[in-house]
Amino acid sequence: MLDNLNLLVIAPFLNVQLLLDGLFIGAIFALAAYGLALVWGVMNVKNLCQGEFVIMGGYFAWYIGDMGIHPMFAMPVAIVGMFAFGWATYKIMIARVVEKDMFTSLLATFGLAIVIQQGLNLAFGPEVQVADSGFPTRSFDLLGGSITVAEIKFYSFLICCFLATAVVAFMKLSRMGQAIRATAQDVRAAKVMGIDTEQVFAFTYALNAAICAAAGVLISMIWVIQPFYGITHSIRSFVIVTAAGFGNLAGVIMAALGLGVAEQYGGFVFGAEMQQVTVVGMLLLVLIWRQVQMSRYRQAVQ
């Protein structure tokens, strides 16, 4: 461990490498996490099949790449397809859990996650799949070492930025976006003002699925996908949203990028097996820190 720290000091370019890798991957985390923040904030649904949506998006890219078309073209297809899937899921299932307590949505979507995993497994087999973007890797000499940046990571970072901006603009400018924000503030009041909240919920959930799908398309070109890989993406989303709070896009982005970098550093310093522990450990730290903060205001017998 100390060797690894020492390595970071004597070879400073490694810091740049880790930082870049962390930011690039963190941007993708931010997409899925923002989707979760949306459904959590607007309709109070804790969507535990977030990661499965991501993986489904990845399978779009893989499938289209397999047909000989560049997997990047899967992006619009995946977004539209998953939007429809999200809408249908809402109508069949989620609509019935919106009003219920928090645990209901958590478990119901866990059930859905199992079904999706197995559905993918039955449809495409359990093999690890990749979509090949075909973009080269570039190296730069910096701080006495060479940094490699796979072009696909860079492009995906740009796409993430674009999508995030698009979603924000949509929320601010469109009628639907305004309705979503109003519903998030107060469902009852929104209803009184004539907003069809049912429609808003369906749209929000579908939008979440579409955002996740976009993240999935990128993931399949950078990492690898498999029907059972969703859970780690779900956990990351929960960590990010719990840390950032929902309804706070800037916070979500900061937390996601931070998590991406922390994972890279955690894996580098403590060994790759500690990467997951880093994520969970950060979550616990955030929660405990919050608790300590809150306890200052609590006056009860404790």
Residues 198-257 that bind another protein (CB under 8 A): 223-226, 228-229, 231-232, 235, 238-239, 242
How many other β-carbons are positioned within 10 Å of the β-carbon of residue 11?
13
| Residue 102 in contact with another protein, rule: CB under 8 A | yes
Task: Cite the DSSP H helix spans in 125-248.
Answer: 151-173, 175-185, 187-192, 197-222, 230-244
For residue 115, which phi and psi values (nearest 5 degrees)? Answer: -65, -45
Q: Considering only residues 119, 142, 165, 173, which one is a binding residue for another protein as defined by CB under 8 A?
A: 119
For residue 127, which phi and psi values (nearest 5 degrees)? Answer: -65, 150
Contact (Cβ atoms closer than 8 angstroms) between residue 35 and residue 171: no
| Residue 38 in contact with another protein, rule: CB under 8 A | no
Place of tokens 């498999």: 226
Long-range CB contacts (within 8 A, 24+) of 107-114: 107/48, 109/45, 109/46, 109/47, 109/48, 109/49, 110/48, 110/49, 112/48, 112/49, 112/52, 113/48, 113/49, 113/51, 113/52, 113/230, 113/231, 113/234
| Residue 46 in contact with another protein, rule: CB under 8 A | yes
| Residue 80 in contact with another protein, rule: CB under 8 A | no
| Residue 96 in contact with another protein, rule: CB under 8 A | yes
Contacting range for another protein; rule: CB under 8 A; set: 17-25, 31-39, 188-196, 203-211? 17-25
| Residue 93 in contact with another protein, rule: CB under 8 A | yes
Contacting range for another protein; rule: CB under 8 A; set: 30-38, 171-179, 186-194, 293-301? 293-301
Q: Which residues inside 133-172 make contact with another protein, applying CB under 8 A?
A: 137, 139, 145-146, 148, 150, 152
- Closer of 40 and 179 to another protein (Cβ): 40
Contact (Cβ atoms closer than 8 angstroms) between residue 171 and residue 260: no
Smallest CA-to-CA distance from 200 within 188, 183, 214 is with 183
Contacting range for another protein; rule: CB under 8 A; set: 162-170, 174-182, 197-205, 284-292? 284-292
Q: At its nearest, how many Å lie between another protein and the CB of residue 84? A: 19
| Residue 84 in contact with another protein, rule: CB under 8 A | no
Strand ranges in the chain using DSSP code E only, listed in sequence order: 137-142, 145-150
Q: At its nearest, how many Å lie between another protein and the CB of residue 85? A: 15
Contacting range for another protein; rule: CB under 8 A; set: 69-77, 128-136, 163-171, 184-192? 128-136
Q: At its nearest, how many Å lie between another protein and the CB of residue 104? A: 6
- Closer of 88 and 106 to another protein (Cβ): 106
